[in-house]
């Protein structure tokens, strides 16, 4: 009874922390700007105060957006980042659809208030899709004109001006506008974009000319003014957080989420920002007693190299007297095994969505010359929105050559691994096939007979593809992935072959990769998707290590373990700033407006615009 009560308390604390607001006093705790002159000079000397450096980091981008809102030109910054995301999308259908949206939003739109668009096309679409049936896509617009907008009509009056843009060879023009767009781009570049869209063409380079004009405007005019503003001071104060070492004292541990071979995984909160993470605690004595320092450091290094929304990334690595602690992305939705046990099997739409995100995660892991070696339902976690991430790189190995040696989970492990042969990343695609089969049927694909174990069944039994839960496309995909010969296995040439399989035809890879395809399943926000804490103890083998004395040599071998991601720090701070700035009227920071220029009878409500 007492244990049950304690679990209820722990669950309440955990869910409350997950829903908690960010602290309101973070900026008060930061050093005043006038004490940071040496830090500013250090950033200048190391090339960290250029436009490109500031604009492409979370705090810098956020503070520049705030400045540009006050300057009535934030649409230029949002356009630039939208185009950068657009260029990353590889799927032609997705690019064409998003190209139309970007054109309509920034280049053709002259609606009231359009000149200070804060929300990107990607965020707008993400919100709109969340109201539609999950997993569906609108039909791409085939023609720019049919979408209800036309090329902007602009009358240009040359204007000679001396300024920083002249040094870059830019032409300063004052535009008397009949109809213009929100980013101040006109002429040939606009016409070229419209022509290509009218012909259903959307190459990655579609917006390059307009992008260059906008970025040069931001670089040579807006950025120097930003550097003299209160927003730059806030940027420097917030960025100074990177200088402070993060330690275990910066975190408060919450309830246990799970248990692994070397210790517990707990939810935790970073005290200064209120950000929730998962803390993988690794018992130092167990590591020393198992002579496994190299394995822990390899996992830490592999996690540091991860930079994908489909892999749980390392944010911090800290330690205390007893544990090494990896601070990872927290996933509030539990693992796929937890959900599959409860539901029996997943509908094909849901299984396909999960599989597609896992595929992108594996593709990223492989791009780092890493074989994952432990693809299974338990190692795929869901966040609170239903997106998947691969977790636990404890068995992963970085190599550019084939390796030999058993690693994995029986029933998932590829035949060549079980047989003791040399193998490469193709082994992961076999395990991926087992994962898909289990999601679709709730069963293992290789039925053990006569008391044989799961690995023996993988080695000697054919995959059972007769289940009525499998469509013809699913059978074809699984036959390729579960092929026992790695040279004939689907995926041995890379992830692209798997993506092109007909079973994945409903997936728009570009939108999925950019986070703009909504999940078909969203975990309940008030449920704790974690194992019951009652009666959970550490591994039995822990007893043999508890009396070990940590040696100086062992401690020295851990010298390279601590780590902190500046990007994680910046993202935390931006979340706090967004919360703190929620009621701010940025227009009070605007420079005094110049007297309004006269316009001719053809002018509209858009007024006068100057390209700087």
Check which CATH number belongs to the domain holding 87 and give it. 1.10.167.10
Provide the b/e sequence for 145-158 (b: ≥16 CB within 10 Å): eeeebebbebeeee
Q: Are residues 169 and 236 in the same domain?
A: yes
Q: Are residues 218 and 83 in the same domain?
A: yes
Task: Output DSSP code: residue 345.
Answer: S
Predicted pLDDT of residue 21: 60
Residue 569 domain-assigned?
A: no
Residue 604 domain-assigned?
A: no
Q: Are residues 268 and 359 in the same domain?
A: no
Q: Which of 216, 241, 266 is the last residue of a domain?
A: 241
User: Which secondary-structure segment (H or E) carries 264?
Assistant: strand 263-270
User: Which secondary-structure segment (H or E) carries 2?
Assistant: helix 2-19
Predicted pLDDT of residue 209: 93
Find out whether 276 and 268 touch, Cβ atoms under 8 Å: yes
Q: Are residues 458 and 359 in the same domain?
A: yes
120 pLDDT above the threshold of 80: no
Over range 293-322, report the average pLDDT. Answer: 95
Q: What is the torsional sign of CA 504, 505, 507, 508?
A: positive
Q: Are residues 275 and 349 in the same domain?
A: no
Residue 592 domain-assigned?
A: no
Q: Give the span between the Cα atoms of 199 and 127, in whole angstroms.
A: 29
134 pLDDT above the threshold of 50: no
Find out whether 224 and 238 touch, Cβ atoms under 8 Å: no
Q: Which of 480, 513, 546 is the last residue of a domain?
A: 513
403 pLDDT above the threshold of 90: yes
Residue 6 domain-assigned?
A: no
pLDDT classification of 556: cutoffs 50, 70, 90: very high
Over range 435-439, report the average pLDDT. Answer: 98
Domain count, the chain: 3
Within 13 Å of residue 3, how many CA atoms lie on the same side as its CB?
5
Taking only the tens place, the pLDDT of each residue in 314-348 is 999 999 999 999 999 999 899 999 999 999 999 99
Nearest-CA neighbor of 333 among 287, 379, 387?
387
Q: What is the torsional sign of CA 530, 536, 537, 541?
A: negative
What mean pLDDT, rounded, does the chain reach? Answer: 81
Predicted pLDDT of residue 169: 32
| 96 or 148, greater pLDDT | 96
Q: Are residues 501 and 421 in the same domain?
A: yes
| 173 or 511, greater pLDDT | 511
Q: Are residues 536 and 458 in the same domain?
A: no
**CATH code of the domain containing 258:** 3.30.200.20
Q: What is the torsional sign of CA 226, 231, 237, 243?
A: negative
Q: Are residues 418 and 508 in the same domain?
A: yes
Residue 583 domain-assigned?
A: no
Q: Are residues 211 and 263 in the same domain?
A: no
71 pLDDT above the threshold of 80: no
Predicted pLDDT of residue 159: 30
- In the chain, the percentage of residues whose pLDDT exceeds 90 is 59
**CATH code of the domain containing 492:** 1.10.510.10
Over range 470-490, report the average pLDDT. Answer: 97
Residue 500, classified by CB atoms within 10 Å of its CB into exposed (0-12), middle (13-18) or buried (19+), is: exposed
Residue 526 domain-assigned?
A: no
Over range 466-487, report the average pLDDT. Answer: 96
Residue 82 domain-assigned?
A: yes
Predicted pLDDT of residue 547: 82
Residue 586 domain-assigned?
A: no
Q: Give the span between the Cα atoms of 612 and 607, in whole angstroms.
A: 16
Q: Are residues 310 and 369 in the same domain?
A: no
User: Which secondary-structure segment (H or E) carries 364?
Assistant: helix 348-367
290 pLDDT above the threshold of 70: yes
Q: Are residues 368 and 229 in the same domain?
A: no
447 pLDDT above the threshold of 60: yes
565 pLDDT above the threshold of 50: yes
Q: Which of 241, 272, 296 is the last residue of a domain?
A: 241
Q: Are residues 322 and 346 in the same domain?
A: no
For the chain, helix (H) and strand (E) counts, in that order, are 25, 13
Residue 280 labelled as part of a binding site: yes
Which alpha helices (H) appear in 183-257, and where do they start and end?
A: 188-198, 208-217, 223-226, 230-239
Q: Give the span between the Cα atoms of 93 and 505, in whole angstroms.
A: 12
* Report field, pTM of the whole predicted structure over 0.75: yes
Residue 547, classified by CB atoms within 10 Å of its CB into exposed (0-12), middle (13-18) or buried (19+), is: exposed
Q: Per mean pLDDT, which range of 409-423, 478-492, 520-534 is the poorest?
A: 520-534
Predicted pLDDT of residue 174: 27
Range of the domain at 413: 336-513
603 pLDDT above the threshold of 70: no
**Would you please indicate which residues are annotated as catalytic (active-site) residues?**
374
């Amino acid at each position: 009874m007492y244990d049950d009560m304690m679990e209820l308390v722990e669950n309440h604390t955990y869910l409350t922390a997950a829903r908690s607001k960010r602290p309101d006093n973070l900026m008060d705790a930061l050093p005043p700007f006038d004490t940071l002159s040496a830090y500013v000079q250090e950033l200048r000397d190391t090339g960290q105060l250029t436009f490109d450096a500031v604009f492409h980091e979370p705090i810098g981008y956020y503070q520049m957006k705030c400045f540009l809102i006050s300057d009535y030109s934030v649409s230029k910054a949002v356009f630039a980042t939208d185009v950068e995301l657009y260029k990353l999308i590889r799927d032609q259908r997705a690019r064409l659809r998003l190209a139309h949206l970007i054109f309509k939003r920034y280049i053709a739109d002259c609606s009231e208030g359009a000149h200070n668009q804060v929300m990107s096309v990607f965020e707008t679409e993400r919100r709109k899709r969340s109201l539609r049936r999950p997993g569906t896509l609108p039909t791409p617009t085939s023609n720019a004109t049919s979408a209800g907008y036309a090329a902007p009509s602009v009358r240009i009056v040359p204007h000679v001006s001396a300024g920083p843009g002249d040094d870059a060879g830019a032409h300063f023009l004052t535009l008397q506008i009949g109809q213009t767009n929100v980013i101040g781009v006109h002429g040939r570049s606009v016409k070229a974009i419209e022509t290509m869209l009218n012909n259903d063409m959307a190459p990655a380079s579609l917006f390059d000319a307009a992008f260059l004009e906008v970025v040069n405007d931001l670089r040579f005019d807006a950025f120097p003014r930003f550097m003299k503003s209160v927003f730059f001071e806030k940027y420097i104060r917030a960025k100074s957080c990177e200088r402070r070492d993060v330690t275990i004292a910066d975190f408060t541990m919450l309830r246990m989420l799970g248990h692994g071979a070397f210790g517990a995984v707990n939810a935790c909160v970073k005290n200064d920002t209120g950000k929730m993470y998962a803390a993988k605690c690794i018992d130092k004595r167990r590591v020393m007693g198992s002579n496994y320092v190299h394995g822990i450091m390899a996992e830490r290094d592999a996690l540091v190299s991860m930079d994908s929304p489909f892999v749980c990334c390392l944010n911090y690595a800290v330690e205390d007297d007893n544990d090494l602690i990896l601070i990872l992305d927290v996933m509030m939705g539990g693992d796929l095994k937890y959900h599959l046990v409860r539901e029996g099997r997943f509908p094909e739409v849901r299984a396909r969505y999960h599989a597609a995100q896992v595929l992108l995660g594996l593709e990223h892991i492989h791009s780092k010359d890493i074989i994952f070696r432990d693809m299974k339902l338990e190692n795929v976690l869901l966040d609170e929105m239903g997106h998947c991430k691969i977790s636990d790189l404890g068995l992963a190995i970085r190599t550019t050559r084939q390796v030999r040696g058993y690693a994995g989970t029986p029933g998932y492990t590829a035949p060549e691994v079980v047989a003791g042969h040399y193998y490469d990343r193709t082994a992961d695609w076999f395990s991926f096939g087992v994962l898909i089969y289990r999601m679709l049927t709730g069963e293992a694909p290789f039925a053990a007979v006569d008391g044989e174990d799961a690995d023996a069944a993988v080695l000697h039994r054919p995959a059972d593809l007769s289940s009525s839960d499998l469509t013809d496309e699913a059978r074809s995909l699984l036959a390729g992935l579960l092929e026992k010969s790695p040279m004939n296995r689907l995926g041995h040439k890379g992830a692209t072959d798997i993506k092109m399989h007909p079973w994945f035809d409903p997936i728009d890879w570009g939108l999925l990769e950019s986070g703009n395809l909504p999940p078909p399943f969203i975990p309940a926000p008030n449920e704790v998707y974690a194992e019951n804490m009652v009666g959970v103890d550490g591994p039995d083998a822990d007893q043999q290590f508890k009396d070990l004395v940590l040696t100086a040599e062992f401690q020295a071998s851990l010298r390279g373990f601590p780590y902190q991601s500046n990007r994680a720090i910046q993202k935390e701070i931006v979340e706090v700033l967004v919360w703190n700035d929620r009621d701010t009227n940025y227009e009070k920071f605007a420079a005094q407006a110049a007297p309004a220029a006269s316009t001719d009878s053809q002018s509209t409500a858009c007024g006068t615009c100057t390209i700087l």
